[in-house]
A and B are shown apart, each in its own frame.
Chain A
Amino acid sequence: MSNADDIWILGIVMTKFGKHGDQDVVDLAAEAATGALADAGVTMADIGVIAAGNLMNAGAGIGQQLQKQIGQTGVPVYNVANACATGATALRTAIMAVKAGETDMGLAVGVEKLSGAGLLGGGGTRKSDSNTWEPNGRYGAVAPVDGRIGTETMPGVFAQIGMEYGHRYGGADFALFAGISEKNHAHSTLNPLAAYQKRFTLEEIMGDIMIAYPNTRPMCSANCDGAAAAVVVSGERLKSLSGEQQRRAVKVSASVLTSDPYDTGCQVLPNVNTLTRNAAKQAYEQAGVGPEDLDLVELHDCFATAELVHYDNLMLCPEGGAVDFFKSGAPWRDGSTPVNVSGGLQSKGHPIAATGIANIWEVCHHLRGEAGDRQIEGAKVGLAHVIGLGSACGVHILESAAA
């Protein structure tokens, strides 16, 4: 069934996302890693490479910290950091090592503790040591520019990204963006691992606390704690494993990471569109599938305004057609292209480095037919997308063993 060159996900888990006051970062990483190993039916002795990410403490070497708790085997460890794409980058690193033939089995882990972290991005310090205006940095700024020259906070940056799409194509108003959030919160009620499982009405979402127009609080991703981990294996090695392991294995039909190519204005407001479209194009080509073949999509809805633009960037709709795509009901779980049936980052939560593996877990969960109440019936092909501002975009296309 498998070609020797193919890469497969042999085991994958995510922890419950939410507040884990009694577990530190290493505990959460260990829970995910040992869970993924058990799910794969292997041990640390089988793992030839480890790639790990923990963005908020990227210098601490989470990979080695994890080894010291669950198994120091001396294999190479790559600690990675790539903003919100850190988890996908860890997975991609493990995949590259296996693809390169350096080993036939690898472990990828992403973990974050973000409960109570509040607003991300932006600098608040206004007071400098000196009481004279001194030009500083690459813009020769004499004072902090966040709040004086636009905003650096994530809700505001992504609000502008959504509003820009609306300006270009029309039809994207406050109610439309809120409707996207309504969908994801509705989906979350079926996901017991989501940080929040509360359905909101459109009116409740629009009437909630405004963070950065048009994003109100429930339209923003939830800061929380969590981890996710995956074991990847070569097609050759998979052939030597049990029938059960082969049946549950999920094929990585495409694994792509891009950064943003130069485009006018991309250093003024991040352009999250071009690199996502580039990643999607490469992924569809690698996998030999098109958007119409996807049974489900987990995309990076860090804010409701972001989800809209990615319908278009991932080519789930014709160019400029994201508003109509949403209004048609297509991305609801009973629609033609279910998007974020996990509840998305707005309700499932966004423990940054875990996100890029957790979204792949969600897709695998459906492809294995193990998603319980929220199972997308007969799912065979799915896509997972993350974007880290700066920027990095990861797109993975996954197919069930039976596909």
Chain B
Amino acid sequence: MGGYVSHVMTRQIPLVDYLVLGDQPHLVAHECTTCQARYFDRRNACAKCFATEFAMVDLSTDGVVNTFTIVALAAPGIPVPFVSAVVDCDGTPVRANIINVEPSPDHVATGMRVSLATYSIGADDNGTEAIGFGFEPAQNGAN
């Protein structure tokens, strides 16, 4: 009590700007206010209806694997094997790795339920930690 501050807050930065960190990490998307098409990148206009107004929306952190592959050969420096997938998050398709699972067709399947998870990519020279995301098998079959 009343002593000096004994801990240093680790600063964090998300791998991409559509990953929101904090107590409940989640993904966000730019949603077209006219046609509700959703995008993850910085937009010039809507590819579906050409409108230019977007609102930021939160995505569900639960999803279903729509498709996947297990990449065994990748560019130099990329650790393999890893599971690449498209996860349907309540109607919004998201590209992500499936993590915290054995990268084998015996352990990954289309239709399996998954949940968003984050992990550390490492700290830079300023001590800022980059945080990545993936989806992991849902716990106990819960949604």
A residues at B contact (CB < 8 Å)? 119, 122-126, 131-133, 135, 138-143, 145-151, 153, 155-156, 159-161, 163-164, 166-167, 174, 209-215, 262, 264-265, 267-269
B71 engages A156 (CB within 8 Å): yes
Closest beta carbon of chain B to A125's beta carbon, Å? 7
Which residue of B95, B97, B125 contacts A132 across the interface (Cβ within 8 Å)? Answer: B125
| Contact residues, B37-88 vs A (CB, 8 A) | 37, 39-42, 47-48, 66-80, 82, 84-86
Measured between alpha carbons, how far is A262 from B46 in the docked complex, in Å? Answer: 10
Closest beta carbon of chain A to B102's beta carbon, Å? 13
Closest beta carbon of chain B to A268's beta carbon, Å? 5
A267 engages B75 (CB within 8 Å): no
A265 engages B86 (CB within 8 Å): yes
A163 engages B47 (CB within 8 Å): no
With both beta carbons as reference points, the residue of chain A lying nearest to B86 in the complex is identified as A269
CB contacts (< 8 Å) of A265 on chain B: these are 86, 93
A148 engages B74 (CB within 8 Å): no
Decide: A164 near B48, CB < 8 A? Known: A141-B16, A269-B93: no
CB contacts (< 8 Å) of B39 on chain A: these are 267
B73 engages A119 (CB within 8 Å): yes
Which residue of A124, A161, A163 contacts B77 across the interface (Cβ within 8 Å)? Answer: A124
B75 engages A123 (CB within 8 Å): yes
The 20 listed contacts between A and B (C-beta, < 8 Å) are A119-B74, A124-B74, A139-B16, A139-B42, A140-B17, A142-B13, A142-B14, A143-B130, A147-B79, A149-B16, A149-B95, A151-B84, A153-B74, A164-B86, A164-B110, A210-B72, A211-B73, A212-B69, A262-B48, A269-B86
A146 engages B72 (CB within 8 Å): no
Closest beta carbon of chain B to A339's beta carbon, Å? 23
Measured between alpha carbons, how far is A124 from B80 in the docked complex, in Å? Answer: 12
B74 engages A135 (CB within 8 Å): no
The answer to whether B101 has its CB under 8 Å from any CB of chain A is no
A164 engages B67 (CB within 8 Å): yes
- Number of B residues near A (Cβ < 8 Å) is 49
Measured between alpha carbons, how far is A131 from B125 in the docked complex, in Å? Answer: 6
B86 engages A160 (CB within 8 Å): yes
With both beta carbons as reference points, the residue of chain B lying nearest to A139 in the complex is identified as B16
Please give me the 3 A-B residue pairs with the lowest Cβ-Cβ distance, nearest first. Answer: A124-B75, A140-B17, A265-B93
Measured between alpha carbons, how far is A146 from B74 in the docked complex, in Å? Answer: 9
With both beta carbons as reference points, the residue of chain A lying nearest to B99 in the complex is identified as A148
CB contacts (< 8 Å) of A148 on chain B: these are 15, 97, 121, 132
Decide: A212 near B67, CB < 8 A? Known: A153-B75, A264-B93: no
Which residue of A131, A135, A151 contacts B71 across the interface (Cβ within 8 Å)? Answer: A151
B75 engages A122 (CB within 8 Å): yes
CB contacts (< 8 Å) of A140 on chain B: these are 16-18, 42
With both beta carbons as reference points, the residue of chain A lying nearest to B69 in the complex is identified as A159
Decide: A167 near B67, CB < 8 A? Known: A124-B78, A126-B77, A264-B37: yes
Closest beta carbon of chain A to B74's beta carbon, Å? 6
A146 engages B75 (CB within 8 Å): yes
Measured between alpha carbons, how far is A153 from B71 in the docked complex, in Å? Answer: 9
Measured between alpha carbons, how far is A174 from B70 in the docked complex, in Å? Answer: 12
The answer to whether B128 has its CB under 8 Å from any CB of chain A is yes
B74 engages A131 (CB within 8 Å): no
CB contacts (< 8 Å) of B72 on chain A: these are 209-213
B13 engages A268 (CB within 8 Å): no
Measured between alpha carbons, how far is A159 from B14 in the docked complex, in Å? Answer: 28
Decide: A149 near B97, CB < 8 A? Known: A124-B75, A133-B13, A142-B130: yes
Interface centre among B15, B66, B111 (most CB of A within 10 A): B15
B85 engages A132 (CB within 8 Å): no
A160 engages B75 (CB within 8 Å): no
Closest beta carbon of chain A to B86's beta carbon, Å? 5
The answer to whether B117 has its CB under 8 Å from any CB of chain A is no
With both beta carbons as reference points, the residue of chain B lying nearest to A123 in the complex is identified as B75
Interface centre among B48, B69, B78, B105 (most CB of A within 10 A): B69
Closest beta carbon of chain B to A260's beta carbon, Å? 10
A147 engages B69 (CB within 8 Å): no
Closest beta carbon of chain B to A177's beta carbon, Å? 11
CB contacts (< 8 Å) of B91 on chain A: these are 264
Closest beta carbon of chain A to B127's beta carbon, Å? 10
